[in-house]
């Protein structure tokens, strides 16, 4: 597992940084809060899986964008996210940010477990899908067609709004872990 230092300060819920197993979350992010940045619904489902709260943090210049969402598994079987396809995007890689020895890393994750009866939330500082394009295409205000591919449940198609990085605080900040601290 990982050596992330987790803190629960000022009532902020502590979130496991690894396989966010069994963490009950309240979906108050981009999927359900009516917000001016949201051009359409980012809710979708396949079998017992419900995906919500989807948003993409825009590209800065031609740098990668980051996709976040939440998945709830209402079924009796474990599932796993195994791939992501996004319209107009050259590469979509599942990553997680981990902390090791006071250093934050981006690690590739070949799949992310979605346990039976559980919820997993992709948030800054936890899991994200890195979206790469050769030019700056993913700008705030746009909507991107995304397909999340799960091992058992199949594909969930979504329309996901692109937002500014500053909007993530309002949309997902409550669920983000704290990483890094004073001198080691």
Which residues lie near other proteins (CB under 8 A)? 7, 10, 12, 57, 60-61, 63-66, 95, 97, 99-106, 108, 124-125, 128, 130, 164-166, 168-169, 173, 176-184
Three-state secondary structure of 48-88: CEEEEEEEEECCCCCCCEEEEEEEEECCCCCEEEEEEEECC
Contact (Cβ atoms closer than 8 angstroms) between residue 97 and residue 154: no
Nearest to 42 by CA among 61, 69, 74, 80: 69
User: In the complex, what is the shortest distance from the CB of residue 76 to other proteins, in angstroms, rounded to a whole number?
Assistant: 33
User: In the complex, what is the shortest distance from the CB of residue 6 to other proteins, in angstroms, rounded to a whole number?
Assistant: 10
Nearest to 97 by CA among 178, 25, 174: 178
Query: In the complex with other proteins, which residue's Cβ is closer, 79 or 167?
Result: 167
Q: Identify the bridge partners of residue 44 per DSSP, sorted by sequence position.
A: 51
Query: In the complex with other proteins, which residue's Cβ is closer, 128 or 137?
Result: 128
Query: In the complex with other proteins, which residue's Cβ is closer, 74 or 100?
Result: 100
Query: In the complex with other proteins, which residue's Cβ is closer, 39 or 102?
Result: 102
User: In the complex, what is the shortest distance from the CB of residue 127 to other proteins, in angstroms, rounded to a whole number?
Assistant: 9
């Amino acid at each position: 597992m990982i050596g992330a230092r987790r803190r629960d300060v000022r009532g902020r819920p502590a979130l496991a940084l690894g396989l966010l197993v069994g963490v009950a979350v309240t979906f108050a992010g981009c999927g359900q809060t009516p917000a001016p940045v949201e051009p359409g619904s980012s809710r979708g489902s396949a079998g017992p899986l419900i995906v919500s709260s989807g948003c993409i943090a825009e590209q800065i210049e031609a740098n990668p964008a980051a996709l976040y969402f939440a998945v709830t598994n209402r079924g009796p079987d474990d599932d796993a996210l195994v791939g992501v396809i996004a319209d107009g995007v050259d590469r979509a890689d599942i990553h997680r940010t981990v902390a090791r020895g006071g250093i934050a890393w981006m690690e590739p994750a070949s799949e992310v477990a979605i346990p039976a009866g559980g919820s997993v939330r992709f948030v800054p500082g936890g899991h994200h899908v890195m979206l790469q394009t050769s030019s700056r295409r993913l700008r705030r205000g746009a909507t991107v067609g995304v397909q999340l591919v799960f091992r058992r449940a199949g594909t969930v198609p979504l329309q996901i709004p692109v937002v500014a990085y500053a909007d993530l605080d309002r949309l997902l900040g409550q669920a983000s872990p704290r990483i890094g601290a004073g001198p080691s």
